[in-house]
Structure 1
């Protein structure tokens, strides 16, 4: 069983922060202003997806490094980390939903509910940052 690679974590955390900063820069205050086929919407969706993807990649690699096995799904990676005490159960549930958002973006961009995307872009970054902090603070 190996520990979390601190250098890799710091590098990937910085990437997540850069993506979340781009989301914040382009996210309109009013959900109705997030409209299809606009640069702001494309930027928000792209950078939110990228931030979530980096967190997913970290979750999967952390499961493997900690000897928890290779999770069958992205959502399972967060559940395994919760079961191992690395992150809280409630956070794992929310991040499992973030993995679902990632899948929706990758496999069906045209079907996105932009009001929901706006809500995710407002609330989701805190969960991504909490996840990164939990990995940083984990001793295992």
Structure 2
């Protein structure tokens, strides 16, 4: 059974963190790159947003996937499977699924991440995850 309260709580946290991301618009890339607290905060907020979406994905998959469907092998796959389950549109799922790889890069600090790439991700994250929240809310309302 889909736990709508769990989903709503995760969506509320994502929405709160998207608002927090907007703070970083007020800084230049240099200001963030040179301030380890700002940089760490930015990375952490991005990781939490993506992580919460993955939690939502995994919950929906556990409740909606048919026995003939292959379980997702990666976090990226959780977004793609939501398209198969008609929760997300395919093109959007493919676009936002890339953020799972970005999350892994932040968590594991692959190649000492380029700070400018992290900074440039802010606008994309705000747009993509606001859309993601809308898709999930629509799905919740549709299943009520």
Same fold (TM over 0.5): yes
Does 1:98 find its partner at 2:99?
yes
Question: What secondary structure does 1:111 align onto?
Answer: coil
Provide Cα deviations, 1:64-115, integer angstroms capped at 9, x if missing partner. 1112464211111111111222111222112211000110011116611111
Q: Which runs of 5+ in 2 are unaligned?
A: none
Partner in structure 2 of residue 15 of structure 1: 13
Structure 1 stretches lacking a partner, 5+ long: none
Secondary structure in 1 aligned to 2:96? helix
CA–CA separation in structure 1 for the residues paired with 2:93 and 2:106: 20
Q: Answer yes or no: is 1:89 the counterpart of 2:107.
A: no
- Aligned 1:61-140 pairs, distance under 5 A: 61-68=59-66, 70-108=71-109, 111-138=112-139, 139-140=142-143
Aligned to 1:6: 4
CA distance, structure 2, for counterparts of residue 37 and residue 104 of structure 1: 20
Question: Which whole-Å CA distance do the structure 2 matches of 1:89 and 1:104 have between them?
Answer: 24
In structure 1, distance between residues paired with 2:103 and 2:74? 12
> How far 1:26 moved relative to its partner?
3.5
SS at the partner of 1:19? Answer: helix
Structure 2 contact 21–126 (Cα < 8 Å) conserved:
no
Kept after mapping to 2: 8 A contact 1:59/1:81: yes
SS at match of 1:129: helix
- Paired residues of 2:88 and 2:135 also in contact (CA < 8 A): yes
Runs of 4+ residues deviating >4 angstroms: none
Could you tell me whether the CA contact under 8 Å between 2:79 and 2:94 is conserved in 1? yes
Secondary structure of the residue aligned to 2:73 is coil
The size of the alignment, in residue pairs, is 138
Provide the TM-score with structure 1 as the length reference. 0.86
